[in-house]
Every structure is written in structure tokens, then in C-alpha cells.
Amino acid sequence: MKKKILILIPAYNEEKNIVSVLTKLNQSKFIKYCDVLVIDDGSTDHTREKAEECHTKVIRQIFNMGYGAALQTGYKYAEKKEYEFLIQMDADGQHDIENIERISEALQSERKPDIVIGSRYLNGSQSFKQSKIRLFAIWMFRKIIRIFTGDNITDPTSGLQGLSRKAFSKYAQFQWFDIRYPDLNMILQMIFLGYRVEEVPAIMHERTEGEAMHSGIIRPMKYMILMSLSSVNAIIRYRKLARRIRQMNKE
């Protein structure tokens, strides 16, 4: 029987973590109704081989295109294979497998949200200590979303998300997904366009192997600055577009 949920895992040089993540998934109760897809983003280690040894479908990018591009490859696959829902999680083991059930239940609830974000900052969540720079960036991004949309999103940089077919089909289109900054910009865009965004408490663990994408001091600061500048453009563009759409609907 065709499964209606795709679990999407973008991975770059995660040979030390991917086996543990996939083993837990394969041994979980969720595997009965979920397919798993790993996007190997041009890894230079044995990420692809390790994933395939776990009997998991792997799509390999021919070179390292970046996290956002890996996600969009997965969205295109999900759209082509006609999945109803997609849940994206990291390959480094930070996202607990138990989060899948919470996100799946929210996606299929009567509220029918388009995007469900796993948040580290809601009651019932569990996480690890983060740097002051990252906490400041998250606080700033929250404020931007609240000021310009009125929505209260507590964890706008969370890579743990569930998407309806309506949402991931939108992302699968080149012009509707920012592969460079697929965090704050995408939340702003989707809220402006009328998509429903919700959050659920998430369980997250500290990475034990390898290096995080935004580790250190320089990289988080650079990302925060560039994300903020990019978001200004997103706000201007999508607010205008949203007004045009509302006007067309009235007519």
C-alpha cells in the first residue's frame, strides 16, 4: 500500500550520524506509514553508502549545492511521487524520532495547517544550550515575523518541519523557494500568501559527531546579517504580492 508521508533527510558529510538516525527510523512504529528519502548533497565521505546500507532511498547531488537546494530536490521528489505530507529532519541526530508523531498528528488534524514547525521554545519541548549569538538571532527573527505578520513563531530557524502537499508543491517551484536562506524568508512568504503555519513542541539533542552548519562565531553572525538583509527584500516583495492576490480575489 502506498504510504502518504515522506520523511526527507538532507545530508552532507554525515557518515558518523546517518546510520544511527536511519536505524532508529527503521525500528520505529512510524515506518509503517512513512517512506524515507535521504538527499546526499555531494558528500565527500561515505554518507551515501551508509544510508544505502540501511536500505534507504538516496538521491545524490553530483556536487555540494547547499542545504536549501537539497531540500528542494526532496520537495520535487515528493510532488512527483504524490505524497500527501512531508516531514523534514536533520541527518545529525539532533531531531528526536518521536517528533515525527507530533508533527504528523498536527498536519492531519482538523485545523489542516500547511506548515508545522517543531519548536524548541514551547512548553513540553526539550533542547540543549545554544550560543548567545544564535539566541539573539532567533529573538530578532521572531520580532520580524511578529511585526510584519502578527504571527508568533517561536522557532523560525528550526529545520524540523512538516509540510502539506500544498506547501511542498509550492516550494518545489524554483521561483517560490529561496535555496540560500530557507528559514525566515520562507515563513514570511508563506504567511503573506495565506498559508497556515503552526508549531508543536519538539525534542532536540546536541550533535555528538561532526560539525554543525552554523558553528563557531563568524558563520552565525554572517548568516544572521545576510538573512536579515534578505528578509527585507522578502517582506517588500511578498507583501506587495499578497495585496495583489487579495485584490484579484475581490474582483
- pLDDT reported for residue 214: 47
Give the mean model confidence (pLDDT) for residues 7-21.
97
Does residue 250 have a pLDDT over 80? no
**How confident is the model over 161-197, as pLDDT tens digits?**
999 999 999 999 988 898 887 888 889 889 988 899 9
Does residue 244 have a pLDDT over 80? no
CATH of the domain at 204: 3.90.550.10
First-to-last C-alpha distance (Å) of the chain = 44
C-alpha span between 130 and 215 (Å, rounded): 10
Residue 76's contacts (CB-CB under 8 Å, 6 or more residues apart) are 172
**How confident is the model over 25-80, as pLDDT tens digits?**
999 998 999 999 999 999 999 999 999 999 999 999 999 999 999 999 999 999 99
Give the mean model confidence (pLDDT) for residues 96-123.
96
- Domain range for 132: 5-250
Residue 248's contacts (CB-CB under 8 Å, 6 or more residues apart) are none
- Give the number of domains in the chain: 1
Does residue 210 have a pLDDT over 60? no
Does residue 148 have a pLDDT over 60? yes
| DSSP line for the chain | ---SEEEEEEESS-TTTHHHHHHHHHTSGGGGTEEEEEEE-S-SSSHHHHHHHTT-EEEE-SS---HHHHHHHHHHHHHHTT-SEEEE--SSS-B-TTHHHHHHHHHTSTT--SEEEEESSSTT-B-----HHHHHHHHHHHHHHHHHH----S-TT---EEEEHHHHHHHTSGGG--SS--SHHHHHHHHHTT--EEEEE-BB----SS--TT-SSHHHHHHHHHHHHHHHHHHHHHHHHHHHHHHHHH-
pTM score of the predicted model: 0.86
8 A C-beta contact, residue 13 and residue 45: yes
> Highest mean pLDDT: which of 55-69, 124-138, 222-236?
55-69
- pLDDT reported for residue 144: 87
C-alpha span between 240 and 230 (Å, rounded): 16
Grid cell 558518523 is found at 16
Q: Between 125 and 213, where is the model more confident?
A: 125
**How confident is the model over 69-108, as pLDDT tens digits?**
999 999 999 999 999 999 999 999 999 999 999 999 999 9
